[in-house]
Amino acid sequence: MVKRKTCIFISGRGTNLKNIISRSRDKSFPIQISLVISNNKNAQGINYAKKFKIPFKIIDTSLQTHENKILLNLRKYKITFICLAGYMKIISNKIINNFQKRIINIHPSLLPKFKGLNTFQRVLKSREKETGCTVHYVNNKLDDGHIIIKKKFYVSLKDNVDNLKYQTQKLEHKAYPEAIINIFRYC
């Protein structure tokens, strides 16, 4: 099996990055993490890139040239697939157009519900009976691309933001690798 050279974009703790790195060590897993990009120099997830000796780049997205720097690095490392894992910036059309149907994202809700930020607070405020996560393709609209997989759980009256986040991340660690396997199953 030829593994696809993949870049993971992160902004924070990197729990999905750690999980995908672990899964990518399996010979039958279809991707190889070849680059990590972060917009946050203090992202804890960078430590996983360092630990596993994966090249990483910190790119300041406030600079006008950030898109070109991202694309330059994606070409340099021969990246063919991108996973957004807690990347808290909107991907530009320029990048999306260069990676049509080769960028996926994980979102902590059952899309199309609760697109964007503050998901857990909104789930609780709306008194949802269930929530979960969604892996989807990235397109030009926020959290709107074709859905690859959803995983869900029931919301309890005792739930708060912290335990919703914890339960959702547990599901994300199952959903993201499963979605990646599904994408490349017949390639």
Active site residues: 107
Q: How far apart are CA 185 and CA 85, in angstroms?
A: 21
Phi, psi of 21 (to 5 degrees): -60, -45
Exposed e or buried b per residue across 21-50, where buried means at least 16 C-beta atoms within 10 angstroms of its C-beta: bebbeeeebbbebbbbbbbbeebebbebbe
Q: Which residue in this structure is represented by tokens 């989807």?
A: 136
Q: How far apart are CA 66 and CA 110, in angstroms?
A: 31
> Does an H or E element contain 136, and which?
strand 130-137
- Beta-sheet strand order (sheet of 130-137): 56-58, 31-38, 4-10, 81-84, 103-107, 130-137, 147-154
End-to-end CA distance of the chain: 10
